[in-house]
């Protein structure tokens, strides 16, 4: 699998597995876990999920898929914009960590930015989570001034 190097030197696969629409139907859980596990076996060890996918259900699917192989997988999850404040971001992170059953998120992203969210507050909350070891890296799709 071809990889890309992150600014901190970590190498991640250029092709990952997305989980949008997973975790929405309990009857599909077993098949979704199997699909992610097959992807991992084939070298797609970057898995992208979000707290909004299945209202946390996709993160639970990921947890079952990476059980006993956490060290092989790079986990990306995303936070809702309405949870991007100084007080709500740590709570959202803890919920995601609990659903994923991991100690630290490899890359924690702001899913999108809304105008009412104070960017400096969001950045500060991400940095605090990083320095406390809850996340290893952070970012967002829209970290630009408006």
**Catalytic annotation on 108?**
no
Number of H helices, E strands in the chain: 4, 7
DSSP SS3 for 5: strand
DSSP code per residue over 91-142: HHHHHHHHHHT-S-BSEEEES---TTS-HHHHHHHHHHHHHTTSBS-EEES-
Q: Which of 53, 80, 108, 116 is catalytic?
A: 53
Rounded Cα distance, 83 and 90, in Å:
9
Active site residues: 53
């Amino acid at each position: 699998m071809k990889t890309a190097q992150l600014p901190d030197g970590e190498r991640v696969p250029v092709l990952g597995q997305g989980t949008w629409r997973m975790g929405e139907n309990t009857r599909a859980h077993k098949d979704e876990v199997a699909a992610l596990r097959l992807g991992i076996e084939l070298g797609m060890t970057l898995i992208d999920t979000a707290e909004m996918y299945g209202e946390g259900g996709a993160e639970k699917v990921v947890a079952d898929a990476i059980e006993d192989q956490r060290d092989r997988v790079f986990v990306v999850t995303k936070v809702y914009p309405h949870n991007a404040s100084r007080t709500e971001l740590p709570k959202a992170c803890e919920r995601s960590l609990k659903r994923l059953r991991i100690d630290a998120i490899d890359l924690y992203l702001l899913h999108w930015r809304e105008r009412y969210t104070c960017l400096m507050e969001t950045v500060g909350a991400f940095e605090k989570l990083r320095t406390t070891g809850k996340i290893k890296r952070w970012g967002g799709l829209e970290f630009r001034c408006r």
